């Protein structure tokens, strides 16, 4: 080896040792979260709750109230410069755009300017669907200009007997086929919706963007990447933003359908799609109401509240669902300029209904309730009623008197029949109130 290269060699060797040392010494499990749950990592605790390890921080899932650290939520009505928002105009023109930008760049990712247009074409109609109860349209949306490019299919059921435009509940789903006829035993949410005089529309999320790691070159995101680019920029969309974009494109079609009342388009989704509809409703003000089913962490539950699934868990296990910048906040929850009460507040004054299940503590139902309550000041500022309660309600008793609604049911990670009935009542009541 030449003498002149020896210092560089030694420097590189020392850097390598440093990197190896960092990689070889991860945080000890239980340094954050609940150390009592270390024996249950990868399994369930004695109460049946899943226990997981976030390797980057050593965080272990917590389900004990006495181990939830104290936290302070950012004020949705205080601008980044410290100025307090006291009027609806200041919220609309200053604070709302400020919060929205933070979610776009740091959490879910912004939609790039070259996002494709969607061309819709009716591929199938059935005037006697569901034993004559509905008119079915199956509509194919082609993303971009290429005939062989990605497509999404929107299925729309409109009540057969109606003489005026009807409201619609648009569901972004996991793609399970809808029943072709009325249910015989199990509860049928489509029948419930149609029976209320609403239309029901559904689109499969996986057609918009695959829900997997390193599938950036497929789906709608793939259409926006430049040649040689393998993933979006750190401040651009993850899959939740892509799915929310797809919801808005479905709304484009529904607005063009004369059978639909375009001022009464509600949206729903469950779990990661519950997160999606909250984000879609936050951005797209054509959404009249949001029915977010068990949205959990990075949906409606508070990030700063250490219970069940955490930001660290999501960043580790589902990084593709978020912007690349999301990784900056691992272990730094209290430094975030937002928390999920502010996501809900972005929907104000429009109605938002969130549910949680007793046996789904991973999703932190109490944290969902607390976020709804903390969004209240924005709703009140805009002249509508908030959640109306500050204590976690009793099981199986929906709280729906305001423009924010919550149901803590005694089931799990799902919507129970009472949720569908309560949401439709809730949405109908608000429409009547706003059209007087």
Q: What does the pLDDT look like over 360-401, one tens digit per residue?
A: 999 999 999 999 999 999 999 999 999 999 999 999 999 999
With 0.85 as the threshold, say if the pTM is over it: yes
DSSP state of 154: E
Can you give the residue range of the structural domain that contains 281?
104-434
Q: Is residue 56 part of a domain?
A: no
**271 an active-site residue?**
yes
List 271, 282, 363, 411, catalytic entry? 271
Q: Is residue 54 part of a domain?
A: no
**Is 178 a residue whose pLDDT tops 60?**
no
| CA–CA separation, 310 and 302 (whole Å) | 9
DSSP state of 35: G
Q: Is residue 229 part of a domain?
A: yes
> What is the tally of structural domains in the chain?
1
Q: Is residue 337 part of a domain?
A: yes
Residue range 9-27, pLDDT digits in tens: 444 444 444 444 445 589 9
What is the domain-level CATH number for residue 385?
3.40.50.1820
Looking at residue 357, what is its pLDDT? 98
Residue range 272-328, pLDDT digits in tens: 999 999 999 999 999 999 999 999 999 999 999 999 999 999 999 999 999 999 999
Q: Is residue 391 part of a domain?
A: yes
Q: Is residue 404 part of a domain?
A: yes
- Secondary structure string (H, E, C) spanning 297-341: ECCCECCCCCCCCCHHHHHHHCHHHCCHHHHHHCCCHHHCCCCHH
Q: Is residue 6 part of a domain?
A: no
Q: Are 353 and 372 in contact (CB under 8 A)?
A: no
Q: What is the mean pLDDT of the chain?
A: 93
Q: Is residue 255 part of a domain?
A: yes
Looking at residue 7, what is its pLDDT? 46
Of 68-82, 112-126, 184-198, 354-368, the least confident: 184-198
Tokens read off for 282: 């936050």
Long-range contacts of 162-165 (CB under 8 A, 24+ apart): 162/197, 162/259, 164/261, 165/258, 165/259, 165/260, 165/261, 165/262
| CA–CA separation, 200 and 3 (whole Å) | 76
């Amino acid at each position: 080896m030449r003498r002149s290269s020896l210092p560089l060699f030694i420097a590189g060797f020392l850097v390598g040792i440093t990197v190896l040392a960092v990689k070889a010494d991860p945080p000890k499990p239980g340094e954050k979260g609940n150390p009592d749950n270390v024996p249950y990592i990868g399994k369930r605790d004695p109460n049946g709750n899943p226990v997981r390890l976030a390797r980057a921080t050593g965080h272990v899932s917590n389900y004990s109230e006495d181990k939830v650290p104290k936290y302070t939520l950012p004020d949705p009505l205080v601008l980044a410069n410290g100025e307090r928002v006291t009027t609806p105009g200041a919220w609309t023109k200053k604070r709302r755009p400020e919060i929205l930008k933070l979610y776009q760049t740091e959490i879910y990712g912004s939609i790039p300017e070259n996002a494709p247009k969607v061309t819709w074409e009716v591929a199938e109609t059935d005037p006697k669907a569901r034993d004559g109860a509905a008119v079915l349209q199956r509509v194919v949306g082609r993303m971009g200009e290429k005939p062989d490019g990605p497509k999404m299919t929107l299925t729309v059921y409109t009540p057969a007997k109606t003489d005026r435009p009807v409201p619609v509940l648009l569901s972004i789903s996991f793609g399970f086929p809808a029943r072709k006829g009325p249910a015989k035993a199990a509860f049928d949410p489509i029948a419930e919706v149609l029976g209320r005089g609403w239309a029901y529309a559904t689109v499969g999320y996986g057609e918009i963007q695959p829900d997997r790691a390193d599938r950036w070159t497929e789906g709608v995101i793939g259409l926006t990447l430049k040649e040689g680019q393998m993933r979006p920029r750190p401040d651009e969309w993850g899959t939740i933003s892509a799915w929310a974009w797809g919801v808005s494109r479905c709304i484009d079609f529904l607005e063009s359908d004369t059978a639909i009342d375009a001022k009464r388009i509600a949206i729903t989704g469950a779990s990661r799609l519950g997160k999606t509809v909250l984000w879609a409703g936050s951005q797209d003000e054509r959404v009249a109401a949001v029915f977010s089913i068990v949205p959990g962490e990075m949906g409606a539950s508070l990030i700063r509240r250490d219970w069940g699934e955490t930001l660290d868990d999501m960043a580790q296990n589902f990084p593709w669902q978020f912007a690349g910048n999301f990784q900056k906040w691992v272990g730094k929850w209290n430094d975030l300029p937002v928390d999920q009460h502010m996501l809900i507040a972005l929907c104000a004054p429009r109605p938002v209904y969130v549910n949680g299940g007793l046996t789904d503590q991973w999703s932190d139902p109490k944290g969902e309730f607390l976020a709804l309550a903390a969004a209240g000041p924005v709703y009140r500022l805009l002249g509508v009623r908030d959640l109306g309660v500050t204590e976690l309600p009793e099981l199986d008793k929906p709280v729906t008197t305001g423009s924010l609604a919550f149901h803590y049911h005694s089931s799990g990670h799902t919507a129970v029949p009472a949720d569908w009935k309560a949401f439709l009542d809730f949405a109908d009541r608000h429409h009547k109130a706003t059209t007087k």
